[in-house]
Amino acid sequence: MVQSNTNPFNEQEQSTASISADEGGNYSYCSLPEVAPRDLSEIVDRNRANLIQFLDKKWVNGTILIIRKINPDMVQGSNWDSNSVMHYPFGAGLIKEPPQYQNGLTPEPGLSERDKTWVKQFYPPLEEKDYTELKPFQSVPLTLTPGEQMNFRIEPDATRSYMIRTFGTSDTVMVLFEEVDGELRYLTGDDDSGEDYNAEIKVRLFRGRRYVLRIRIYYSDRAGETAVMMW
C-alpha cells in the first residue's frame, strides 16, 4: 500500500489514499478527495485520455470506486520485484507496507535477475517455422493466452499505405519491423489506438521488402476471440 499525505492536485488540501480488498479478494476500494478537472494535451492518445478522464471522474471528486479484480488465469505477471528496472524510487514515509520500506525504497541500478528472466521469456529466439504469413484482406485468429506472442511475415506485392489492426475483446500490442541485411529494424508500434484496447498501425510498405509483425496479448476477456487483419 502506498500512502500520500499531500494531495498532488491541490496543495491546500491534505489527503490519504487507501486501497483494500474484501475477504474473497474480489474488490478493492479507493477514496480520494474532490479535485478540479484537468485538461489533457492533444498529443495524448484518445483512448488513454478517455480512461484518465473516466478515472478522474470516478476515483476523485470524493467518490468511491469499486474495482473488480481480473482473474489471475487471464493475465501473466510475476511477484513484486523491488529492484526491477521498471520500479520507481520512493522516499521515506511514502510506503506503509511492507514495513522494511517505510524509510524509503531505492532499486539497484540496471536489470534485476527477475528482469533478465522475463526478458528471455518475452523475447525468445525465433526460427522461420515460428512465423505466419500475413496477407492483405485475410483475417488471422490469434490463438494466444495473456503474455503470449504471435509472429507474422509480411511481403507486400504493392507499394502503398497499409492498415494493420487487431479485433476482439482483448488488450493487444503490435510492433512492426523491417528486415535489412538479415537484421530487424524497428519501424513502428502501437498499443491502444484501435477500439477497445486493440492495436492499430497505418504504415507505408514497399514491394520487394520483407517485414515482421509481432503481436502480444496483455489481457483477453474471452480466449480465441481476437484476430488481426491487414488491408
Mapping DSSP onto H, E and C, the string for 124-152 reads CCCCHHHEEECCECCCEECCCCCCCEEEE
Asked if residue 69 belongs to a domain, the reply is yes
Instruction: Determine which of 8-12, 43-47, 81-85, 140-144 has the lowest per-residue pLDDT on average.
Output: 8-12
CATH number at residue 146: 2.60.120.380
Asked if residue 64 belongs to a domain, the reply is yes
| pLDDT, average across residues 99-107 | 88
Nearest to 164 by CA among 78, 92, 229: 229
Same domain for 132 and 109: no
Same domain for 175 and 130: yes
Domain enclosing residue 106, as ranges: 19-115
Asked if residue 41 belongs to a domain, the reply is yes
**Amino acid symbol at 190:** D
Q: What is the pLDDT of residues 109-138, one digit of tens each?
A: 889 998 888 888 777 777 888 899 999 999
Number of domains in the chain: 2
Asked if residue 13 belongs to a domain, the reply is no
Helices marked H in the chain: 46-59, 113-122
Residue 2 C-alpha cell reads as 502506498
Where does a domain end: 115, 149, 174?
115
Long-range contacts for 70-73 (Cβ within 8 Å, ≥24 apart)?
70/219
Distance CA(144)–CA(225), nearest Å, equals 10
Distance CA(110)–CA(99), nearest Å, equals 25
**pLDDT class of 37 with cuts at 50, 70, 90:** low
Same domain for 162 and 101: no
Helices first, then strands: H and E counts in the chain: 2, 12
Asked if residue 1 belongs to a domain, the reply is no
Distance CA(79)–CA(88), nearest Å, equals 16
Asked if residue 65 belongs to a domain, the reply is yes
Same domain for 82 and 171: no
Whether the pLDDT of residue 59 is over 60: the answer is: no
Same domain for 107 and 26: yes
| pLDDT, average across residues 167-193 | 88
Nearest to 226 by CA among 150, 128, 126: 150
Q: Note if the pTM is more than 0.85.
A: no
Taking CA 176 as the corner, what is the angle to CA 221 and CA 79, rounded to the nearest 5 degrees?
A: 45
β pairing state of 149-154 and 211-220: antiparallel
The listed range with the strongest mean pLDDT (62-66, 104-108, 143-147, 210-214) is: 210-214
Where does a domain end: 115, 134, 149?
115
Per-residue model confidence (pLDDT) at position 198:
82
Same domain for 226 and 131: yes
Per-residue model confidence (pLDDT) at position 11:
37
Contact 19, 1 (CB under 8 A): yes
Q: What is the pLDDT of residues 67-98, one digit of tens each?
A: 566 666 666 666 788 888 888 888 888 888 88
Contact 60, 9 (CB under 8 A): yes
